[in-house]
């Protein structure tokens, strides 16, 4: 204790500009303190709701989507801090939200989370945390990097990775229960948005994927979400922009990702780092918007690393974490008083959040050492001379023995002694509806986004013109057979290889799926069918345009049925290749490794396709069995050559003739059966189905696992 007292005295002397604890709160030097009697005062510890005799007159309307609430008079706050309180900036005119939300109280008791290998010295990421959140308020979880903020948020929301173990209890409206689909919304730190859609279109399709019922009923929900997040001026603007118009800024994009969850009209909203990568103006606008949303009755819980003084003034309650330990929970002004009582008063000209993080972030120890070295050479450089480990122990010990902790325990007891109304699921859209919505949305995206299929169509046409002009004028003599085989091999192989240009677009689709699947807006089967159905028209357009150019430039046999088989064969080849692209992209979820893997696979398939060396002459281990049978090039080329040469004859001299099969004997190995070309087409179809089944398995297991691991990695690396 002598060491702690010594460190506290040193820090108090270093903060000479700070007011004493007695005069610190309230103080006129804090411009963010609210005058007595001002509106929008946060609910104090004594203002706990009781389900039979509540502080607010709540009448739930039919359907449970709205309430009428009569706000109760605000009672005196803990430690008589209501003589000055934290303000809310004036709301813009016309920004009032008429719809009220029947929020829910959330209580977490002795909550602890362990993740194996997460910490260097301990697997405990969160250690015995207690707290609560009330309807109509904003509760912030604040702390330095690797303090367990996001883990605590996910634990409360019931969205921890399966490898994490949670201990303790979470109460919703006084009952120990899990949050059901539709009763809450969760916004990740990074949400993949669709840049080729407008804000209104994106939210409308999100509503169709989430909500049951008729399409016409979703429009009003979308408009409410747009108004709630102040996106009215951007509703018809493309999220990603285009060559003549910039897309939305980060602040607007972040509000769009929150609006996506609001279409469900959630009772509780969890947000991981709403101010992530936002500038000060965008951050303030975001917080004002969330404050406006909370005023409708929604319970909002979010994490934050640090904030400006203006943003700090909007919080109702703060949960301060450091290395998984709860250093304080309570009203924001009470937190200032807590630091003063512990011997670390906040200087007048310093932001409270900066002061909190300065006191509890152990990374500052290295800066302190640098400052001391600088001081030795250049005189006084910094007055920072506090050991953060001692400060953390001091704050934790002070909080555990304080009236704030006792008040929290009392409030938690009152919130959990009686069970309130259970939150019910609002239902989901059917899988058939989701498949139809995803198909139509994907068609719209593909038609607008040139990177999907329009670029590939242009590249295919250029490549086909090049191949066609190189091999033009071959004629129909016996000497042209080898050259025609070469032309067909080059056409099939190079067009398949060129399709790798679609990897970035497919990778974006997989990321969108992962983002929507994490919130149960989509599923592996729904995404697979939607992507499959939407890609067919574009693949058919590419196949018929490329086939027509190649067919007539090379001068293949006349006949409508022969031409249609050529188009169908090439379409199936592209269809199989699309499944291969999607499978590899789903496995790696990285553009570099996906392209590298696909190039390698295509080169190996080209080597074993039977052109560079006849299939029967390939080395049996590996090249013939199994590679030549796995390569879809083999079946496509065989089918096209059988379509061209079966039933044909070539004159050898003036008397003797040979069949097309004999003419191909030294160039390529094909079957003598008249139905063999249709058998090859069937094999291509079965391969396309097989690749889709593989994609389904990867999406259902591998992608979900990678997303969860990516979140854990983010928690380790970034400000969680």
Considering its fold, how many domains does the chain have in total? 2
Task: Please check whether residue 353 lies inside any domain of the structure.
Answer: no
Listed residues 265, 286, 301: the one ending a domain: 265
Buried b (16+ CB within 10 A) or exposed e, 579-604: bbbbbbbbbbbeeeebbebbeebbee
Taking the C-alpha atoms of residue 686 and residue 265, their distance in angstroms, rounded to an integer, is 44
Nearest CA among 596, 597, 622 for reference residue 608 = 622
Task: Please check whether residue 139 lies inside any domain of the structure.
Answer: no
Task: Please check whether residue 635 lies inside any domain of the structure.
Answer: yes
Task: Please check whether residue 691 lies inside any domain of the structure.
Answer: yes
In contact, 86 and 131? CB cutoff 8 Å: no
Determine if the pTM surpasses 0.85: no
Task: Please check whether residue 352 lies inside any domain of the structure.
Answer: no
Listed residues 207, 239, 265: the one ending a domain: 265
Task: Please check whether residue 525 lies inside any domain of the structure.
Answer: yes
Listed residues 203, 231, 265: the one ending a domain: 265
Give residue 652's pLDDT: 81
Give residue 252's pLDDT: 92
The series of mean pLDDT values per 10 residues for the chain, 720 residues long, is 47 40 35 36 35 36 35 33 37 46 88 76 81 94 90 92 88 90 90 92 93 78 92 92 76 94 93 90 92 92 89 92 91 89 84 84 69 55 59 89 93 90 84 93 90 88 95 86 93 95 92 89 92 94 95 92 96 96 94 96 94 88 91 95 88 81 83 87 96 93 59 43
Give residue 377's pLDDT: 54
Give me 55's structure tokens: 């502080």
Q: Phi/psi of residue 371, each to 5°?
A: -65, -40
Give residue 693's pLDDT: 95
Task: Please check whether residue 203 lies inside any domain of the structure.
Answer: yes
User: Cβ–Cβ contacts within 10 Å for residue 390, how many?
Assistant: 17
Nearest CA among 644, 645, 676 for reference residue 662 = 645
Using DSSP bridges, classify how beta strands 241-242 and 106-115 pair: parallel, antiparallel or unpaired: unpaired
The partner residues of 44 in beta bridges, in order of sequence, read none
As a whole number of Å, the CA-based R_g of the chain is: 33
Taking the C-alpha atoms of residue 516 and residue 219, their distance in angstroms, rounded to an integer, is 20
Nearest-5° Cα angle at 190, 186 to 196: 105
Count of residues in the chain? 720
Structural domain for 577, as ranges: 431-642+670-706
Task: Please check whether residue 626 lies inside any domain of the structure.
Answer: yes
Task: Convert 326-391 into a string of H (helix), E (strand) and C (coil).
Answer: EEEEEEHHHHHHHHHHCCCCCECCCCHHHHHHHHHCCCHHHHHHHHHHHHHHHCCCCCCCCCHHHH
Give residue 88's pLDDT: 38
């Amino acid at each position: 204790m002598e060491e702690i007292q010594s460190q506290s005295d040193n820090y108090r002397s270093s903060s000479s500009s700070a007011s004493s604890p007695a005069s610190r709160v309230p103080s006129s030097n804090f411009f963010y303190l609210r005058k007595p009697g001002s509106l929008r005062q946060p609910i104090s510890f004594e203002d706990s709701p009781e389900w039979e005799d509540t502080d607010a007159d709540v009448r739930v309307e039919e359907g449970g989507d709205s309430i009428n609430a009569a706000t109760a008079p605000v009672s005196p706050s803990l430690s008589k801090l209501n003589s000055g309180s934290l303000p809310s900036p004036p709301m813009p005119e016309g920004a009032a939200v008429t719809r009220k939300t029947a929020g829910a109280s959330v209580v977490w008791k002795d909550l602890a989370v362990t993740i194996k290998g997460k910490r260097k010295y301990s697997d405990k990421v969160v250690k015995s945390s207690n707290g609560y959140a009330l309807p109509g308020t904003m509760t912030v979880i604040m702390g330095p990097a690797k303090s367990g903020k996001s883990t605590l948020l996910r634990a409360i929301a019931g969205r921890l990775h399966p490898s994490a173990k949670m201990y303790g209890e979470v109460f919703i409206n006084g009952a120990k229960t899990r949050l059901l689909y539709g009763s809450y919304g969760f916004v990740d730190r990074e949400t993949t948005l669709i840049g080729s859609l407008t804000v209104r279109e994106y939210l409308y399709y999100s509503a169709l994927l989430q909500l049951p019922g008729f399409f016409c009923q979703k429009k009003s929900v979308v408009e409410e979400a747009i108004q709630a997040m102040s996106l009215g001026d951007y509703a018809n603007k493309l999220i990603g922009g285009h060559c003549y118009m910039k897309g939305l800024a980060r602040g607007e994009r972040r509000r769009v990702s929150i609006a996506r969850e609001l279409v469900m009209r959630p009772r509780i909203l969890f947000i991981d780092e709403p101010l992530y990568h936002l500038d000060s103006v965008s951050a303030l606008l975001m917080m004002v918007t969330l404050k406006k949303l909370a005023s409708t009755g929604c319970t909002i819980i979010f994490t934050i690393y640090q904030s400006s003084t203006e943003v700090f003034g909007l919080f109702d309650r703060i949960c301060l974490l450091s290395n998984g330990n709860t250093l304080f929970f309570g009203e924001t002004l009470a937190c200032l008083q807590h630091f003063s009582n512990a011997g670390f008063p906040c200087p007048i000209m310093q932001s409270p959040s900066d002061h909190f993080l300065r006191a509890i972030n152990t990374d500052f120890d290295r800066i302190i050492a640098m400052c001391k070295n600088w001081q030795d050479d250049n005189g006084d450089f910094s007055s920072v001379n506090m050991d953060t480990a001692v400060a953390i122990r001091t704050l934790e010990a002070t909080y555990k023995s304080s009236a704030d902790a006792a008040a929290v325990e009392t409030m938690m007891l009152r919130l959990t002694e009686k069970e309130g109304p259970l939150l019910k699921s609002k239902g989901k859209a059917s899988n058939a509806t989701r498949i139809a919505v995803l198909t139509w949305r994907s068609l719209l995206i593909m038609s607008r986004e040139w990177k999907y299929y329009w670029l590939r169509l242009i590249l295919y046409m250029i490549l086909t013109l090049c191949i066609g002009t190189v091999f033009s004028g071959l004629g129909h003599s016996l000497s042209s057979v080898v050259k025609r085989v070469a032309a067909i091999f080059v056409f099939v192989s190079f067009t398949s290889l060129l399709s790798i240009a679609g990897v970035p677009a497919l990778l974006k689709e997989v990321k969108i799926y992962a983002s929507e699947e994490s919130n149960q807006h989509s599923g592996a089967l729904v995404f697979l069918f939607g992507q499959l159905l939407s890609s067919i028209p574009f693949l058919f357009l590419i196949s018929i345009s490329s086939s027509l150019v190649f067919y007539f430039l090379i001068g293949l046999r006349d006949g409508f049925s022969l031409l249609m088989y050529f188009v169908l064969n090439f379409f199936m080849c592209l269809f199989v290749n699309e499944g291969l692209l999607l499978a590899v992209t789903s496995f790696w979820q990285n553009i570099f490794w996906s392209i590298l893997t696909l190039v390698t696979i295509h080169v190996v398939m080209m080597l074993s396709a039977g052109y560079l060396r006849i299939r029967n002459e390939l080395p049996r281990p590996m090249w013939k069995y199994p590679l030549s049978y796995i390569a879809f090039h083999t079946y496509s080329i065989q089918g096209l050559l059988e379509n061209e040469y079966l039933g044909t004859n070539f004159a050898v001299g003036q008397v003797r003739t040979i069949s097309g099969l004999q003419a191909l004997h030294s160039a390529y190995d094909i079957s003598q059966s008249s139905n063999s070309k249709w058998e090859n087409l069937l094999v291509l179809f079965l391969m396309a189905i097989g690749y889709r089944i593989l994609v389904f398995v990867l999406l259902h297991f591998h992608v979900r696992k990678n997303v969860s691991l990516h979140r854990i990695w983010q928690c380790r690396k970034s400000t969680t």
